[in-house]
Structures are given as C-alpha cells and as structure tokens.
C-alpha cells in the first residue's frame, strides 16, 4: 500500500516538475531521488576518531533524508585495517561501506579489486547532487581516489596536512622568530632548548613506522621523490641522507629524552605540557591543544606551515576516504551514504570542530563555513596555506606497512648514533625485494 502511495506522490511531484521544466528550462528530472532505497540497512566500518564521531553524531539526519538505516561501528585504526582486509579477502565482508586510509591502503585495495567503481554513479543525476563534482576535490584527493584507469573507487573524505605547531610563550621568552626554513628551525630549536628546565626545542615522532610521516616531510623539502618512472623506490638517495641527518640532529640534540619511542600521543603530551617548543604533525590536533582540560598551552599555540627546505616547501599529505565494498548488495544506497558523508554540511561540521579537513574546495574556501570554525584563525590559515603546498607523504605502493616498518626502523636507529647512509642502504636492500615481489605478483 505504502509503496503505491509513494509512487503516486512521486507522480504528482513529477508532473509538477515537468511543468516547471517548461517554465525554467532546468532539468528537474535530475533531482536526486533520496528516498528510492528507503528501508535498506547499511553496515559501516569506521576507524576510531573525529571523522567517525562526526558521522555517528549526525547519522539520524541521513536516515530522515533517505529512510536508510545505518549501523556503524568505530574500531581503532590499526585493528580496523586488519579486520577490513581479512573480511574483504574472504569475499563476504560484513559491511557495505568502508572508511579507508589512502596512504596505507590505496594500492592494496585497487589491486585486489575490493572497492566498487562509483564513476558511473557520479554521472547519474538521480544519484548524485549537482554540487558533487570531481573537480571540487583537491588534486591530492583525486590522486588518492582514482585508480590507474581513472575510475573513482571512493570519495575523498578528510585530508591530513602536516603543519608546525609552536609554543608562542616559549618563543617570546627566548626572543625567537617563527622559522621559515628548516635551517632556521634547527637554530631556533637550539635556542629554545633548556635541558635544566626540562624544555626542548622540538618534538616529533621517533617511533618506528609512525616516524615515517614526519621524516617524509623533510624528505620532500629536500627535493626527494618516492618512486622513479619504473616504480623503483628512491628513498635512499642523497636527499634521503640529508633529510635523515636533519631528523637525527633534531631528535637527538633538541628533543626530549626517549623520543625514539614517541608516537604522536607522546609528542602531543610533551607539547601540551609546555615541555617542547615546536612540534610537526598532522593538522587534526588543534582540538586537544585548545582544550583546557587536556592542555596547559591553551591560547599559546601558534600554527603555521612546515618550514621550507633547500629544494622546496611541502606539506606531507595523508588522507581518508569512504568507499563501497565491491561485494555489497546495496551499492546505490551505500553510495548515497558516501555522498552524504562528504556533503557540504557534514564537511563543514568536520572542519568547524577541527576534527578534519574536507578534500572539497567548495567547503574549505566558503567564507561562511570558515566563519564557523571554532579553532583559532591561525589554524585555519595554516590549513589553507598547506593545501597549496600539499604533496603525498608516502609512496603509493602495496607494501606501505613494510616500507614504514623497515625504513622507519633504520631512521629510528640513527637516533642512537647509527650512520644515516649505512642504515638507509641496509634498509633498502631489505625493502627492494619485498616491493618487487608485491608489485609484480
């Protein structure tokens, strides 16, 4: 019965719209039919964090809009990746929609064919709102979402730029200017370090694997590229050695003791306690830094782009996307959800809370959205400036985890005095066969 009612209502709407077409010339039949998949239930697997929170907090609005029920679970990042891969490999994943980390999973997912191609949906006006167009996503986002054949396999959700956080109070006390280049940053860090007071000039990730995201930012600034035309890895060249020397100098001379075991969490602890004057990491940490319950440096934090190196200035970029499992039986409904997740409204909420940065320029550059950002203006500026110098922060290969573990271990070992060139060479001798094996298979 209700089915008949809906179709009758649609008929009426259609008739009205047809009349409107005659008057305005707009193709009103192109309206997205949000209610078409009402009654469907979707399963979503999310990585724990502000993106997942943002989805779950407002999911009722999506259900109201579409009549689609959504069951989602947030799992800590590492475990979520493992669970997703194992389920996808089984061919019968328990989820329709998956939150993926591009910088780790892009090539792996493409090669295994686990994601549904959504290029067709994006061209279908009954499925896609007119404001969602490819060109609205930043270049990094499209690079992540598209495969070699140019098919869209996911929608870019949130981008992570590396920025420089600094403690304004400590800078003022020592009369140090905000560094514009990496060399200036080293000098500044030396001036700011006061071991007797337990204050250090710089803090950043030293832990194996995690450290690669920071190291690659230096590597890019020294002019490094990850792969040559034939797909050979280049991260043991002269640029890599120079970047490692800088990394070694910073983390051994002007960083807190034990930094070799620090991930972002320990680094953040040191920074929020006012024990470290500078910290380079992802853009998403502004909310905890500005939270009086968690931070002693509220209102004293400066935000700016990562300083320039001798061969350029880049912000190492990482990102998340949302895609549809190729094995899902509810692909169209799932697509509606993905679209809602990256919609202007949801993107604006994410940005305004400081929980992430949408890949869509129309959101980031909208003055009204910017007005509502609850984080300091400087933070937003650092995001906008970083977007201009954005460059992917990890090689796009299948064995990303091996790359991060093996080269990351080499770089960590330089913190206890090992020679950068020797360590990098050794690590790459180990990594090259792994890369060859997985790319050619």
> Interface residues with other proteins (CB under 8 A)?
78, 82, 85-86, 88-89, 108-109, 111-112, 114, 198, 206-208, 256-262, 266, 269-270, 273, 275, 399, 401-402, 405-406, 409-410, 412-413, 415-416, 426, 430, 437-438, 441
The 8-class DSSP code of residue 136 comes to G
The encoded tokens of residue 7 equal: 């179709």
* Residue 288 Cβ vs other proteins, minimum distance, rounded to whole Å: 17
User: Given the complex with other proteins, which of 109 and 264 has the nearer CB atom?
Assistant: 109
User: Given the complex with other proteins, which of 34 and 109 has the nearer CB atom?
Assistant: 109
User: Given the complex with other proteins, which of 7 and 82 has the nearer CB atom?
Assistant: 82
CB of 373 within 8 A of CB of 354?
Answer: yes
CB of 78 within 8 A of CB of 64?
Answer: no
* Residue 360 Cβ vs other proteins, minimum distance, rounded to whole Å: 30
- 3-state class of 181 per DSSP? strand
* Residue 285 Cβ vs other proteins, minimum distance, rounded to whole Å: 19
Other residues' Cβ atoms within 10 Å of the Cβ of residue 298: 13
The 8-class DSSP code of residue 193 comes to -
- 3-state class of 72 per DSSP? strand
CB of 288 within 8 A of CB of 239?
Answer: no
User: Given the complex with other proteins, which of 86 and 133 has the nearer CB atom?
Assistant: 86
**Residue 76: phi, psi to the nearest 5?**
-50, 140
Distance, in Å, from the CA atom of 257 to the CA atom of 261, rounded to the nearest integer, reads 9
Residue bearing tokens 């090689």: 395
**Residue 281: phi, psi to the nearest 5?**
-165, -175
User: Given the complex with other proteins, which of 377 and 437 has the nearer CB atom?
Assistant: 437
Distance, in Å, from the CA atom of 230 to the CA atom of 238, rounded to the nearest integer, reads 19
Sign of the CA dihedral 169, 170, 173, 174?
negative
* Residue 208 Cβ vs other proteins, minimum distance, rounded to whole Å: 5
Distance, in Å, from the CA atom of 410 to the CA atom of 425, rounded to the nearest integer, reads 9
* Residue 278 Cβ vs other proteins, minimum distance, rounded to whole Å: 17
User: Given the complex with other proteins, which of 16 and 89 has the nearer CB atom?
Assistant: 89
User: Given the complex with other proteins, which of 109 and 166 has the nearer CB atom?
Assistant: 109
User: Given the complex with other proteins, which of 213 and 412 has the nearer CB atom?
Assistant: 412
Helix, strand, coil abundance in the chain, percent, nearest 5:
55, 20, 30
* Residue 328 Cβ vs other proteins, minimum distance, rounded to whole Å: 17
Sign of the CA dihedral 434, 439, 440, 441?
positive
**Residue 252: phi, psi to the nearest 5?**
-100, -30
How many Å separate Cα 369 from the centre of its chain?
20
* Residue 201 Cβ vs other proteins, minimum distance, rounded to whole Å: 15
Distance, in Å, from the CA atom of 42 to the CA atom of 258, rounded to the nearest integer, reads 45
User: Given the complex with other proteins, which of 39 and 258 has the nearer CB atom?
Assistant: 258
User: Given the complex with other proteins, which of 341 and 406 has the nearer CB atom?
Assistant: 406
Residue bearing tokens 């970083």: 386
* Residue 406 Cβ vs other proteins, minimum distance, rounded to whole Å: 8
């Amino acid at each position: 019965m209700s089915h008949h009612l809906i179709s009758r209502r649609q008929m009426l709407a259609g008739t009205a719209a047809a009349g409107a077409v005659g008057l305005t010339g707009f193709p009103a039949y192109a309206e997205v039919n949000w209610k078409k998949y009402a009654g469907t239930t979707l399963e979503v697997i999310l990585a724990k964090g502000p993106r997942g929170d943002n989805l779950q907090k407002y999911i009722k609005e999506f259900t109201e809009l579409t009549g689609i029920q959504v069951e989602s679970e947030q799992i800590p990042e590492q475990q979520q990746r493992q669970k997703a891969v194992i389920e996808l490999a089984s061919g019968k994943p328990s989820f329709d929609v998956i939150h993926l980390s591009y910088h780790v999973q892009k090539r792996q997912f493409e090669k295994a064919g686990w994601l549904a191609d959504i290029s067709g949906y994006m061209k279908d006006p009954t499925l896609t709102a007119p404001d969602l167009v490819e060109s609205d996503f930043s270049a990094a986002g499209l690079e992540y979402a598209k495969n070699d054949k140019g098919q869209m396999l996911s929608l870019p959700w949130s981008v992570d730029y590396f920025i420089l956080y600094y403690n304004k109070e400590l800078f003022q006390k020592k009369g140090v200017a905000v560094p514009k280049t990496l060399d200036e940053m080293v000098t500044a860090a030396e001036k700011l370090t006061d071991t007797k007071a337990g204050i250090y000039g710089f803090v950043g990730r030293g832990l194996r694997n995690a450290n690669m995201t920071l190291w690659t930012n230096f590597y890019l600034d020294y002019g490094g590229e990850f792969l040559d035309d034939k797909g050979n890895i280049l991260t043991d060249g002269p640029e890599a050695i120079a970047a490692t020397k800088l990394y070694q100098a910073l983390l051994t001379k002007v960083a807190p003791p034990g930094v070799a075991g620090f991930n972002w969490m320990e680094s953040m602890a040191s920074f929020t306690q006012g024990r470290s004057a500078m910290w380079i990491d992802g853009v998403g940490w502004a909310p905890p830094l500005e939270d009086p319950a968690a931070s002693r440096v509220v209102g004293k934090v400066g935000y700016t782009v990562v300083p320039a190196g001798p061969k350029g200035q880049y912000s190492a970029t990482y990102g998340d996307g949302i895609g549809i499992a190729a094995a899902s039986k509810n692909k169209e409904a799932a697509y509606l959800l993905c679209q809602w997740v990256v919609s202007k409204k949801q993107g604006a909420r994410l940005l305004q809370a400081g929980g992430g940065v949408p890949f869509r320029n129309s959101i980031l550059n909208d003055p009204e959205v910017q007005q509502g950002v609850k984080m300091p203006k400087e933070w937003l500026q650092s995001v906008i400036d970083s977007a201009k110098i954005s460059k992917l922060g990890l090689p796009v290969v299948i064995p990303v985890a091996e790359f991060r573990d093996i080269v990351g271990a080499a770089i960590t070992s330089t913190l206890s005095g090992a020679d950068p060139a020797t360590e990098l060479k050794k690590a790459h001798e180990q990594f090259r066969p792994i890369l060859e094996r997985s790319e050619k298979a």
